[in-house]
């Protein structure tokens, strides 16, 4: 399977902006987490990173790429991977943002080794518009993002809720994260459904999934080599709901990614 370049950037830079060297529960109250994040991420970061990712689609191969990385965090605007936005409201413990982001999910029938899969329609990546919020507490960081497809491919809605606990061990930062991702019926039907016309062409049974909730977990590590140079690594797994894994297009209920990279902070 050939994964799109934007998909690799999104995965790698999500890792970068999550890997912030802060101490969970550090003195200063609930706001200490966001305070540290704002301080560390302000300005520009550039570097080089690589990602490998498995696919849930039937008879697709492990894919990977190495790409340049870029991130920016300012007082008013930010770029976090292929998500860019504006801070609508921000305090030392809470922020509320409007953003546009790239959705890397896609399926290209020609990239599958399965005869039936090659006769399905392609599913395309898209652009999402939405709102997100982050709340710092003395025991970690809560995040919530709601977004919708604005290019009209799926007209789907995605809601993602997460909990992270940044921990500092000397020059090593660890950020374990757990979350839930809800995708509505439009999203699931576009990316995992099989229309009657496709069923006739492919030999698959027609399939119309409903909305679903899929849990995920990940661990990010960032090691500072100097004031400006750091390296990061991240592993992430998402466990797909039965509404997705029951699709004739899907042969795995788990999806994994691994990212590695080196960053320079200006």
- The string of DSSP letters for 231-257 reads EEEEEEEEE--HHHHTSTTB--SEEEE
Residue holding tokens 């919020």?
Answer: 133
Domains of the chain: 5-265 (2.40.160.40)
| 266 residues of the chain, pLDDT tens digit each | 344 444 444 444 444 444 333 333 344 444 445 554 444 445 678 888 888 889 999 998 776 677 777 788 888 998 876 788 999 999 989 999 999 998 989 899 988 999 999 999 999 999 999 999 999 998 899 999 999 999 999 999 999 999 999 888 999 999 999 999 999 999 999 999 999 999 999 999 999 999 999 999 999 999 999 988 999 899 999 999 999 999 999 999 999 999 998 988 88
Task: Count CA atoms within 13 Å of residue 259 on its CB side.
Answer: 32
Using only the alpha carbons of the chain, give its radius of gyration.
Answer: 19
Q: How confident is the model at residue 92, as a pLDDT?
A: 85
Q: How confident is the model at residue 53, as a pLDDT?
A: 85
Ramachandran sector of residue 146 (left: φ over 0; alpha: ψ -120 to 50; beta: rest): beta
Task: Name which of 180, 122, 181 is nearest 157 in CA terms.
Answer: 181
Ramachandran sector of residue 140 (left: φ over 0; alpha: ψ -120 to 50; beta: rest): left
CA dihedral (44, 49, 54, 57) positive or negative: positive
Q: How confident is the model at residue 43, as a pLDDT?
A: 67
Contact residues for 179 (Cβ-Cβ < 8 A; gap 6+): 143, 160, 161, 162, 163, 215, 216, 217
Q: How confident is the model at residue 51, as a pLDDT?
A: 83
d(CA 98, CA 28): 28
- What 3-state DSSP class applies to 114? coil
Contacts 24+ apart (CB under 8 A), 96-100: 96/131, 96/132, 96/133, 97/131, 97/132, 97/133, 98/130, 98/131, 99/129, 99/130, 99/131, 99/132, 99/147, 100/127, 100/128, 100/129, 100/150
């Amino acid at each position: 399977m050939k994964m799109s370049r934007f998909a690799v950037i999104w995965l790698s830079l999500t890792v970068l902006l999550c890997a912030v060297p802060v101490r969970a529960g550090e003195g200063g109250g609930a706001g200490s987490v966001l305070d540290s994040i704002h301080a560390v991420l302000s300005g520009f970061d550039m570097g080089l990173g690589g990602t490998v990712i498995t696919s849930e689609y039937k008879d697709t191969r492990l894919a990977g790429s190495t790409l340049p990385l870029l991130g920016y965090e300012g007082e008013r605007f930010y770029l976090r991977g292929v998500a860019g936005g504006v801070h609508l409201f921000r305090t030392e413990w809470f922020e509320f943002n409007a953003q546009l982001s790239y959705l890397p999910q896609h399926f290209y029938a020609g990239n599958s080794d399965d005869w039936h899969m090659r006769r399905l329609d392609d599913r395309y990546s898209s652009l999402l518009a939405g709102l997100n919020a982050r709340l710092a507490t003395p025991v970690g960081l809560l995040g919530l993002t709601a977004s919708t497809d604005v290019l009209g491919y799926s007209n789907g809605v995605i809601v993602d809720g997460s909990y992270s606990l940044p921990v500092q061990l000397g020059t090593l930062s660890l950020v374990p994260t757990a979350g839930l991702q809800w995708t509505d019926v439009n999203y699931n039907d576009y990316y995992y459904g099989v229309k009657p016309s496709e069923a006739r062409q492919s030999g698959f049974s027609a399939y119309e999934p409903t909305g679903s909730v899929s849990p995920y977990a990940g661990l990010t590590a960032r090691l500072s080599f100097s004031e400006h140079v750091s390296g990061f690594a991240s592993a992430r797994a998402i466990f797909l709901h039965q509404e997705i894994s029951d699709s004739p297009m899907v042969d795995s209920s788990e999806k994994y990614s691994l990212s590695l990279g080196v960053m320079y902070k200006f």
